[in-house]
A and B are shown apart, each in its own frame.
Chain A
Amino acid sequence: MLFRQKIFAIVASILIMLVVVELVRRRRLREEYSWLWLLTGGVIILLVSWYDLLVFITHLIGAIAPTTTLFIFGLLFLMLISLHYSIQISKLSHQVKEMAQQLAILKGHVEGQIDPGP
């Protein structure tokens, strides 16, 4: 791996992690959503700086160039993050549905729509 590639990967990872931490500090991003991003940055830094580990994993997964390993893991992490969001969106949709239904029933009650009899 070229020295320049290493520098670039490390600088990019550190920048992303700094942005994430800053967003959490300003309360623009909630803590529970930050860990996957920080983990992604951390793993890239680890792989780049511990070159033997990167080479080992490259052999393990059958890749040829160590940079491929970095790309693959970057992509995997992005996919996991997307999946994580899909799960969150499903959960939120369910909560919105429950709220809309309760709101409709309560609103009917408040506006006198609901009383026994035909």
Chain B
Amino acid sequence: MLARAGEEKILILIPAFNEEGQISSVIQRVRKEIPEAQVLVVNDGSSDQTEQKALASGARVLSHPFNMGYGVALQTGYKYALKYGFDYVLQMDADGQHDPRYLQILLSEVKDEKADVAIGSRFLGKGEYQAPLVRRIGIYLFGFIASLLSGQKFTDPTTGYQALGRRAIEFCVDDSFPGDYPDADVLVMLHRAGLRIREVPVIMHPNVNGQSMHSGLKPLYYVYKMFLSLFLNLLRKQYLVR
């Protein structure tokens, strides 16, 4: 392990798939916000200039040989963090939706408040995030189910803006971590594993180029998969992280 004593290593993890338009400015703003952190872009088989632009902006880049999905890209970052002895992972999207000003707040939540996971919620009062109605219903529904299953209130289970501590990183490198859309099901899994999760209010900007991960028929599959995943999690043996 490369970590030196007394010094905590922070990794800012940005999964990116064809984000050449935004990636440079995201990296620059992130580096300004937390200069002591290492910025890692996991390039998920982009066909554009994402990798070159991220490298030119001074980030480290890991590239998948082909597109594997958002969750797999996140997990590659977790595996990297674990392998090289990072204490905290701050993850955010590459499309500029997540305002880097909240990185410090998320970090202090896991660092000082001793939560294992801090998740940034759009719906805790800050900013007026205008999601399309269908998406809002989906977010509300899965937030409700996740709250019901875990006994803890979740207002924004789909958020990709999170901070993870060491225990959470160790948990998420497991094979059970979903490769396509990790959200409400992961929160329930983390909760059942005995990890402490806290929600933090953040502002999210509307997507600049308007292309969401969830388009076409994917939302239908997403709803099906999330229900199945949440349900099967309940049937699986509960395992606790010490």
Q: How far is the CA of A105 from the CA of B83 in the complex (A)?
A: 9
* Interface members, chain A 73-118 (any B CB < 8 Å): 94, 97, 100-101, 103-105, 107-108, 113-114, 116-118
Interface pair A101/B65, CB less than 8 Å apart: no
Q: Which residues of B contact A114 (CB under 8 A)?
A: 60, 80, 84
Are A113 and B62 interface neighbours, CB within 8 A?
Answer: yes
Among B2, B61, B175, the residue within 8 A (CB) of A116 is B2
Bound-complex Cα distance A118 to B9 (A): 9
Q: Which range holds the interface residue count of chain A?
A: 10 to 19
Q: Identify which of B71-79, B112-120, B150-158, B182-190 touches chain A.
A: B71-79
CA distance A59 to B104 in the complex (A): 73
Size class of the B contact interface (CB-based, 8 Å): 20 to 34
Of residues B60, B62, B63, which shows the largest number of chain A Cβ atoms within 10 Å of its Cβ?
B62
- Complex interface residues of chain B between 50 and 64 (CB less than 8 A to chain A): 60-64
The contact sample of 27 A-B pairs, CB cut-off 8 A, is: A97-B68, A100-B65, A100-B68, A100-B72, A100-B76, A101-B64, A101-B72, A101-B75, A101-B76, A101-B79, A104-B42, A104-B64, A105-B62, A105-B76, A105-B79, A105-B80, A105-B83, A108-B62, A113-B60, A114-B60, A114-B80, A114-B84, A116-B2, A116-B9, A116-B84, A117-B38, A118-B38
Interface residues of B (CB under 8 A from A): 2-3, 9, 35-38, 42, 60-66, 68, 72, 75-76, 79-80, 83-84, 175, 179
